[in-house]
Structure 1
Amino acid sequence: MSPSGHKRVFDEEVLVDLTQFPDRIADTFAGKTVLVTGATGFVGRALVERILHNTDVKKVYILIKSKRGKGTQERFAHYFDSCFFDPLKKERPESLKRVEAIQGDLSELEIGISREDRRKLIDEVNIIYHSGASVRFDEYIKKMIMLNVRGTRNMIALAKEVKNLQLFVHVSTTYCQPRNVVLNEDVSITPHNPHDMIRIAENMDEGTLNILTSKLVGDYGNTYTFSKALAEAIVFEQMDKLPILVVRPSIVMPCIKHPIPGFTDSEYGPMSLWILYCKGMLRVTKVKPEYVLDYVTLDMVINTLLITTYNYINNTEKKYRYATRRTSNGP
């Protein structure tokens, strides 16, 4: 589709009046209040930008923790400074006033928010996007469990209290089931009970846990994919009790189009290699030709989050429940 509203069908240019079609995404979010965790991260920030850019959402709450001596409000004061938000500030500057920062920390009990803020979220929120997580592959297992697993359990506990919850979206990863050759829309059985792992992390010292890491993680490869699998198990326990959607992106790469083509400020995953390629410092990489580069662009991930949100909320008969479905982790 070209910007002029034309599309080419069998080499014939046909004029299409796009205004005749309703904006289903915008209609879904109109007047809604959204909570986003991980809003300072790569995916969470892009999600906030797109919601503000394309919808008339009523309010967006974002969870921000104090960090490196800077409090929540101090960090929030510079939240929109990145050039990533320049198109939004130019085209819809008034939308920035719809964002409010909530002090919190997913690694803490009750996600570290005050009673007043918790009550506000319980009374007002309609949609929750839980994208907050540590994405480091080499992070110590204790921190990963406390943040990615217990943090998810605490977010689920909050979601259960929300009065008018329409959807809880859990952002997971394609690599949560390393033993499966094909990632199906199924629930996988984790090698350890996630609640047991939380109790172990809470009560065992970090040094001992580090010694046990390889035994616990097994063929998950790293503490990140292991913790995300445990977090999914926490989420799937509640799928018959809450409106839940799980989205599993693969390796997230720079934007292909929106809001700035090629934008990234992430150095995680393969991005350090891509930076070296772009600077001409790395010309050749040894790879196995049979391997596939499993990447997805950032704006495609955001598109998926918004479209699946629309589909879940507006197509009741298509909602899937996996609470009673199980699949082994075998190949």
Structure 2
Amino acid sequence: MEYFDNVADFYAGKSILITGGTGFLGKVLIEKLLYSCPKLEKIYLLMRGKKNATPESRLQSMFEQPIFERLKKERIEDLEKVVPITGDIAEENLGLQEDDQNIILEKVAIVIHAAATIRFVEPLQIAMNVNFEGTKRVLNLSKKIKQLQTFVYISTAYANSNRQVIEEIIYPPPASYKHVYEIIEKYGDDAEQTKKLLGDLPNTYVFTKALAENFVAENHGNIPTIIIRPSVVTGSKNEPTEGWIDNWAGATAITTMISLGYLRVLFGKSSNIIDLIPVDFVSNFTIVAAAKCNRSKELRVYNCSSSGTNPLLIGNFFRSFIKEAVQKKKNVIPYPAVIFTKSHFIVKIIIFLTQILPAFVFDCFLRLTGKEARTLKKQMKIINNFYVLEYFTSHSWSIQSTQTQSLFASLTNCDREKFPCDSSSIVWSEYIPVYFDGIISYLL
């Protein structure tokens, strides 16, 4: 058992294996580890080679993003601590070369598994191979690591979205692994059979993440293990720069479309709670929890969320975003607004009158003037996104984070300042403008 004065001390001289490091959370995690744990040894980053791009070239492109600016200004040499390892969680043995595998087995002390396919509409076979089998492969490799001190699995709070109150415990799996593979073998990716298998879970993403959680819980053995469940991950609150965001996932796309005036209706109630958590809070908590976890062989589950401590009403959230757009004159269509309804009929009427019909008329005008007509095509993308996210706007959850809060409370004052991750400290009226400005700066 290892004791240390502060979180950064725990990482001194240690090497980390990270999967999913090129993703939104992964980049923030790598930057924060390098910046705030300056004595860590290496970060081994499992990366796929892509067409015309080696892992090395992909890593260099990643370092060119604004998120790494403060490191470049203050300690650029620390970027050399990140070592790309060619591999893929979707392949047997993670697609590792023997030499690379030996480096991991000999050098690594902490494994953070964040890689996943986050597409809600992913075919079941692909989601199972990446989210379930991929987790299985990473855990199996981790169990062979000689000096492993901590295994961290990044799940999602919505793996258990069929429960209104989500606690920091492992729930029974939504199906047996054997039954899932029987369905795949018999029906492939048949949509009706998949829907029947998912039961009261909304998509293959949360379904396969729930299965992966259970596999980790049942098979981690004596490895100190934690499961971290972020809710809806949004732009950074503070670090490495305010509002940083690099993708349209989660709440970002639909929120932007509403604030710009393209979308004017949501299925659900304005009094529902939306559970947002800034990406730097998730990154900070992951670093803290991984350091603290090595003192216990007991599996720990942490919900990295806000609804249990600092609830935000979805109506207030969207109205605040619209207000930002109007004040900063960023709305494209005049008088943006959002109507909440529980009627599918009313949703279709509003979408037709405020989106499809105006887009069709505008496209006709464009064609008459000899220009390319793409307005309706864009609107259909927005509408499709609306229906994909309908489940999440129409439900309300209380995601409990008692253990998360307790862990933060146990930190020294220095670590609380260095690794802020207490969702009760977020002032939404201050954070929402930061999130909005980040979308404008980094995505639009």
TM-score range, shorter chain: 0.7 to 0.9
Q: Counting helix residues as a fraction of each chain, which structure ranks higher? A: 2
How far off its partner does 1:101 sit? 0.3
3-state SS, counterpart of residue 247 of structure 1? strand
Could you say if the C-alpha distance between residues 65 and 95 of structure 1 is closer, same or farther in structure 2, counting changes exceeding 3 Å?
Answer: same
Residue 256 (structure 1) aligns with: 237
Could you say if the C-alpha distance between residues 181 and 61 of structure 1 is closer, same or farther in structure 2, counting changes exceeding 3 Å?
Answer: same
Residue 278 (structure 2) aligns with: 297
3-state SS, counterpart of residue 206 of structure 2? helix
- More displaced stretch, 185-194 vs 221-230: 185-194
Could you say if the C-alpha distance between residues 237 and 130 of structure 1 is closer, same or farther in structure 2, counting changes exceeding 3 Å?
Answer: same
Q: For 1:221-240, list aligned pairs within 5 A.
A: 221-240=202-221
Residue 320 (structure 1) aligns with: 298
3-state SS, counterpart of residue 39 of structure 1? coil
Deviations 1:180-200 (A, max 9, x none): 222222211113223553576
How far off its partner does 1:67 sit? 2.4
Deviations 1:30-66 (A, max 9, x none): 1100000000101111111110011121000001112
User: Is this contact kept in 1: 2:227–2:300, CA < 8 A?
Assistant: no
Query: Which of 15, 18, 27 matches 1:45?
Result: 27
- Where structure 2 has 5 or more consecutive residues not aligned to the other structure, the ranges are 302-444
3-state SS, counterpart of residue 255 of structure 1? coil
Deviations 1:178-228 (A, max 9, x none): 232222222111132235535765x567444x4521112121100100010
Q: For 1:196-275, list aligned pairs within 5 A.
A: 197=180, 206-208=188-190, 210-275=191-256
- More displaced stretch, 162-171 vs 75-84: 75-84
CA distance in 2, matches of 1:246, 1:144: 19
Larger Rg: 2
Deviations 1:108-137 (A, max 9, x none): 111111111111100110000000001111
Query: Which of 121, 124, 131 matches 2:107?
Result: 124
Q: For 1:141-180, list aligned pairs within 5 A.
A: 141-180=124-163
- State yes or no: 1:87 paired with 2:65: no
Residue 54 (structure 1) aligns with: 36
Deviations 1:264-288 (A, max 9, x none): 111112111233356x345855451
CA distance in 2, matches of 1:112, 1:198: 22
Could you say if the C-alpha distance between residues 199 and 154 of structure 1 is closer, same or farther in structure 2, counting changes exceeding 3 Å?
Answer: farther
CA distance in 1, matches of 2:223, 2:78: 30
CA RMSD of aligned residues (A): 2.2
- State yes or no: 1:33 paired with 2:11: no
How far off its partner does 1:308 sit? 1.1
Partner amino acid for 1:132? A
How far off its partner does 1:150 sit? 0.2
How far off its partner does 1:102 sit? 0.5
Could you say if the C-alpha distance between residues 198 and 89 of structure 1 is closer, same or farther in structure 2, counting changes exceeding 3 Å?
Answer: farther
User: Is this contact kept in 1: 2:46–2:85, CA < 8 A?
Assistant: yes
CA distance in 2, matches of 1:24, 1:296: 24
Partner amino acid for 2:76? P
Query: Which of 308, 311, 328 matches 2:289?
Result: 308
CA distance in 2, matches of 1:199, 1:124: 39
Partner amino acid for 2:213? E
How far off its partner does 1:97 sit? 0.6
Residue 175 (structure 2) aligns with: 192
The percent identity for this pair of structures is 31
